[in-house]
Amino acid sequence: MELIKTTAGGGYTSFASGLPDPQLFPVDTLRALTDEVLTRDGRAALQYGPAEGYLPLRDYVAGLLRERGFAGVTAEHVLITTGSQQALDLAARALLDPGDLVALETPSYLAAVQAFDSYEAAYAPVPMDSAGMCPQALSSARGAKLLYTLPNFQNPSGLTLAGERREKLAAWSASNGLALLEDDAYHDLRYDGEALPPVAALAPNPWAIYTGTFSKVVAPGVRVGYLCAQPEVVRRLGELKQITDLHTGSLTQRVVFEYCRAGHLEPGIARLRAAYRPRREAMLSALETHLGGIAEWTPPAGGMFVFVSLSEGLNASRLLQRSLERRVVFVPGESFYPGPKRPKNTLRLNFVSAGEEAIAAGIRVLGDVVREALA
């Protein structure tokens, strides 16, 4: 957010933001659907609604979740939230007492860690390799109350948890009585390969909470996300949600539902993939050209980010100062590590918000900055 403020005047190539490309927002479709909803159903759409969400949307999301592998899930397993960020916060608020240990991938999603921090959690960081969280390292997380994982195109690392590891994580958290919080914000932004089953669908765990969002596939400004859990858990989290914001906007929930019902979701996702895939290719090819041999990264199969490790001894925050002078912005990876051990030699690059030419030019600048620092 600070970087966004610094660069707000424009003239920067930004790999820093976590934002989708606004040029791809379905503005005209949402305008027409909003008109339709207000014309047909205006009074209800502007009235207070149930804390758990607009029933037709809960039903629709339950259908999406069944397709993802959650057999037998119905509307009563679904809570509509104000973005999936709220789902993460509600889960943390319900489950965490001060000092409770959260096992999580390192690095991890910053805003979730900030939510856990606000309930005074402690952390059991679990390392990752190119196949995601390492199950063999889970023994160091014994005593944890909650396992937080982002199995698809993780923010910030871009890594995807391998299929057999999903089974292990699901079995481990269920058999050790851990709550599981699975954040699948990027599920549909897959550019290669087939979807893998959610961890939460792989072993029965009464405390499994899976979160998703329409932010990345419709628009983040609608603030419509969801969580999936056992009905009793949904009921209790609904009570907490009521304390927070009573319910998610009645109008936006209806507009998102109409967007899905009218068949816009799938073609919209296809458009996003078609736009983002070549930008990922542009980023990977520019990285190879300008940072090949002096940095490491794992090509992401989807999502919005690639995470780069520089030689030990380089400090990405210092490089950022030089890079800012040349109007190129990224986020030093340090911010994404919970706890005291924060490697300084990593950085996160968003590959969806700049066009392909700007990506190539920006990574050339980054390559120069890194080479100069090495020299």
Ligand X SMILES: Cc1ncc(COP(=O)(O)O)c(C=O)c1O
Peptide linkage before 107 cis (omega within 30 of 0): yes
Bridge-based pairing state of the strands 78-81 and 225-228? antiparallel
Nearer to ligand X, 18 or 135 (CB): 18
Of 7, 84, 173, 205, which lies in the binding site for ligand X, with binding defined by CB under 6 A?
84
Within 257-296, the residues that bind ligand X by CB under 6 A are: none
The phi, psi pair for 174, rounded to 5°, reads -65, -45
- 18-36 in b/e form (b: 16+ CB < 10 A) is bebbeeebbeebbeebbee
Q: What is the DSSP letter of 340?
A: S
Quick one: 312 exposed, middle or buried, by C-beta within 10 A (0-12, 13-18, 19+)? exposed
Of 26, 49, 53, 83, which lies in the binding site for ligand X, with binding defined by CB under 6 A?
83
We find the least distance from the C-beta atom of residue 200 to ligand X, in angstroms, to be 15
Nearer to ligand X, 83 or 367 (CB): 83
**Binding segment toward ligand X, per CB under 6 A, in 81-89, 120-128, 168-176, 317-325:** 81-89
Taking Cα atoms as reference points, which of 257, 276, 273 lies closest to residue 64? 257
Tokens standing for residue 214: 């329409």
Nearer to ligand X, 52 or 183 (CB): 183
Residue 70 and residue 62: Cα distance in Å, rounded?
A: 9
We find the least distance from the C-beta atom of residue 189 to ligand X, in angstroms, to be 11
Taking Cα atoms as reference points, which of 326, 258, 266, 247 lies closest to residue 36? 258
Task: Sketch the per residue contact string, 207 through 236, with ligand X: x for CB under 6 A, - otherwise.
Answer: ------x-x----x----x-----------
Quick one: 8 exposed, middle or buried, by C-beta within 10 A (0-12, 13-18, 19+)? exposed
Nearer to ligand X, 109 or 172 (CB): 109
Within 128-167, the residues that bind ligand X by CB under 6 A are: 150, 155
Nearer to ligand X, 115 or 295 (CB): 115
Count residues binding ligand X (CB under 6 A). 13
CB 210 within 8 A of CB 147: no
**Binding segment toward ligand X, per CB under 6 A, in 23-31, 77-85, 275-283, 356-364:** 77-85
- Name the residue number minimizing CB distance to ligand X: 83
267 Cβ contact list (under 8 Å, min separation 6): none
Within 100-119, the residues that bind ligand X by CB under 6 A are: 109
Q: Is 61 in the site for ligand X (CB under 6 A)?
A: no
Of 7, 13, 14, 85, which lies in the binding site for ligand X, with binding defined by CB under 6 A?
85
Nearer to ligand X, 13 or 155 (CB): 155
**Binding segment toward ligand X, per CB under 6 A, in 58-66, 78-86, 238-246, 293-301:** 78-86
Nearer to ligand X, 123 or 319 (CB): 123
The residue with tokens 């490309």 is 21
Taking Cα atoms as reference points, which of 157, 257, 250 lies closest to residue 214? 257
What's the distance, Cα to Cα, between the start and end of the chain in Å? Answer: 31
Sheet holding 331-332, edge to edge: 295-297, 305-310, 346-350, 331-332
Question: Which helix (H) or strand (E) is 92 found in, with range?
Answer: helix 83-95
Nearer to ligand X, 273 or 327 (CB): 273
Q: Is 183 in the site for ligand X (CB under 6 A)?
A: yes
Q: Is 185 in the site for ligand X (CB under 6 A)?
A: yes
Within 9-48, the residues that bind ligand X by CB under 6 A are: 18
Residue 280 and residue 292: Cα distance in Å, rounded?
A: 16
Nearer to ligand X, 173 or 213 (CB): 213
Q: Please report, as ranges, the residues that interact with ligand X according to CB under 6 A.
A: 18, 83-85, 109, 150, 155, 183, 185, 213, 215, 220, 225
